[in-house]
Amino acid sequence: MTMGPVTTETTAAAAGGAPDGGVLRCGRPPSHTTGSRTYARIADEVAKQGAQRIGILALITAVTVVGVAIVQQALQPQTAVAQQSSLFRLSALFLVLAGIGLAALQRSELVSAQELLDLGLVFEVFGACALAFMENAMPWPDTPIRGSSAVATWLAICVVIIPNKPWKSVTAAIVSAAIIPVEHLMTARMLDYPALPWNRLAIHSLGPFLVAGWAPFISKRMHQLHEDLSRSQDFGNYHLEKLVGRGGMGEVWLARHRLLRRDAAVKLVSAGLLEGAGHSERRHLQKRFESEAQAIASLRSPHTVAIYDYGLAENGSLYYVMEYLQGMDAEVLVHRYGPQPAGRVVWLLRQACDSLEEAHDAGLVHRDIKGSNVFVCRLGKSADFVKVLDFGLVKNLAGATQTALTGDRTSGTPAFMSPEQVRGEEIDARADIYGLGCLSYFLLTGSVVFNKPDALAMAVSHLTEQPEPPSMRSELPVPQSLDRVVMACLEKSRENRPQSVTELRTMLDSCTGFAPWTATDAIRWWELHRPEPARKES
């Protein structure tokens, strides 16, 4: 149950499938677990808000039809001929009664919100039909040429006001627009007056068809906007402010603590991930999640991303509250700025070792060390500060009673997977050392160790192929001392690798032949490439 990191142009939310270590109220779910509006209920919230808007629209429609008829009688008596037509009066009466009826139905709550949204589209179509009949209740004069049908305005209002699935909104808009020419020709025959020439009828119908043509874009955008706005609300002590990422596991939101005014990343994991599991299986997964979250939360390294809170929502879905980081992951760093100098790579790796050293001492192995799980950021006055993310695949080595949330031993990313992971063997901390070797190779060369066309070929290569030293593939100079450290981490047999990250860090400290990277270098690089945005006052 892993959710990878989410990055943006200048910011990123701390990511991970299970909670990443940090400060947490351990041992009990947060007090606001059952009171929060959860991810799974957001669609219902959108429908409820849309249903309320439909009720208002229906009532306004009824009042407007009556009001316009009264005003026209007073200010434009020549329209009385049209208003005295039975077709005009029946159409107006239909709009008034349908509007009042739909508004009353919304207030009564006799139908679900989604059913009311569908009825709103029916009201849109029949409203267009009624308006078209009212426009054609009397013959049109030869001059002046009337412009577009008033149905265009009606459709534009309905597309914006009524949130629904885009295909439903588009269908309703197209049907409503098609009604205009059909009703004109039909009414002209019924009332025995000459129909408009085709060019005038085309101009009259153009507006509704243009609105219908834009309906797919307007409806999709408005539906997403309604959904986003419904989530921009308080989530326990945190106010959701902006969606920063969406993936198969759920969503990541920028949030702010209501009292502390502290930014955080709230990750809402879709409840659909647990669908299909029985009640006992679901409870078992939830307990394993809690046990793992508490174990990782015990980590205190500043280079492990911090958790502020976590919980199980009332529908069984999971959520996490983590620190919000400004920067980019190592994968984005390389893709955007190319291979990194040896001194900087050593600087970053030593910090990652600090995080993993504590985890390994606690009996935890990460199992998915890769570029997207090593985040490089600004933190206070420090630059090039590393945070290790996504402990969602973590395996507890202390005993069989504490198992990982994911029971698949082969879990991981093929480009960074150790041979023992590929074989499905029991793994230990040396699998993370292999991952660090793959990560350092990527940082130095800009490419993965085995660049194969598919995941299977890549995984097999970790078992059978000997990688080229990074110095042979990098466009930047890589000293032999660092070459040897990377190749030692990439040994097929775990017995031949460094046996701990402590040993690996010692080997990195002994590397020579390159300019060391300093805190001054880091600050200068960030000021040049990623200047810090001005802070907004709370």
pLDDT tens, N- to C-terminus, the chain (538 residues) = 344 433 444 444 444 433 333 332 233 333 333 333 443 344 566 677 778 888 898 889 889 888 887 877 777 665 555 667 788 888 889 989 999 999 999 888 888 888 888 898 999 999 889 888 888 877 766 545 556 788 888 888 888 888 777 788 888 889 988 988 888 888 888 888 888 888 888 888 888 888 888 877 877 777 666 665 555 555 667 777 777 776 655 677 888 887 777 888 887 765 555 555 566 766 766 666 666 667 677 888 999 988 888 776 554 557 778 888 889 999 999 999 999 999 999 999 999 999 999 999 988 888 889 998 999 999 888 999 999 987 755 665 544 333 333 344 445 688 999 999 999 898 899 999 999 999 999 999 999 999 888 889 989 999 999 999 999 999 999 999 999 999 999 999 999 999 999 999 999 999 999 999 999 999 999 999 988 765 544 4
Q: What is the rounded CA–CA span in Å between residue 206 and residue 208?
A: 6
Residue 98 backbone phi and psi in degrees, to 5? -65, -40
Q: What is the rounded CA–CA span in Å between residue 326 and residue 526?
A: 11
pLDDT for position 14: 45
Q: What is the rounded CA–CA span in Å between residue 81 and residue 357?
A: 88
Q: What is the rounded CA–CA span in Å between residue 287 and residue 153?
A: 55
Between the CA atoms of 216, 221, 226 and 229, what dihedral angle is there, to the nearest 10 degrees? 170
Measured from the Cβ of residue 138, the count of other Cβ atoms closer than 10 Å reads: 18
Q: Where are the domains of the chain?
A: 6-37+233-529, 41-231
pLDDT for position 432: 94
In 84-110, which positions are buried (b, 16+ CB within 10 angstroms) versus exposed (e)? ebebbeebbebbbebbeebbebbeeee
Instruction: Note if the pTM is more than 0.95.
Output: no
196 contacts 204 by C-beta, under 8 angstroms? yes
pLDDT for position 443: 96
Q: What is the rounded CA–CA span in Å between residue 209 and residue 221?
A: 19
pLDDT for position 498: 95
Structure tokens at 226: 């309604």
pLDDT for position 445: 95
* Catalytic annotation, residues: 368
pLDDT for position 441: 96
pLDDT for position 317: 59
pLDDT for position 483: 95
Task: Output the CA–CA distances (angstroms, integers) from residue 158 to 50, 66, 122, 151, 477, in the order listed.
Answer: 11, 19, 11, 10, 63
For the residues of 149-216, what is the DSSP string, one character each?
Answer: -THHHHHHHHHHH----HHHHHHHHHHHHHHHHHHHHHHHHHHT-PPPPHHHHHHHHHHHHHHHHHHH
Find the radius of gyration of the CA atoms of the chain. 32
Say how many CA atoms lie within 13 Å of 399 toward its Cβ: 4
CATH number, span 6-37+233-529: 1.10.510.10
For the stretch 479-536, pLDDT in tens is: 999 999 999 999 999 999 999 999 999 999 999 999 999 999 999 999 999 887 655 4
pLDDT for position 45: 62
Kindly report the three-state secondary structure assignment for every residue of 428-477: CCHHHHHHHHHHHHHHHHCCCCCCCCCHHHHHHHHHHCCCCCHHHCCCCC
Contact partners, residue 260, CB within 8 Å, separation at least 6: none
Q: 360: burial class by Cβ within 10 Å (0-12, 13-18, 19+)? A: buried
Chain centroid, CA 358 distance in Å: 32
pLDDT for position 24: 28
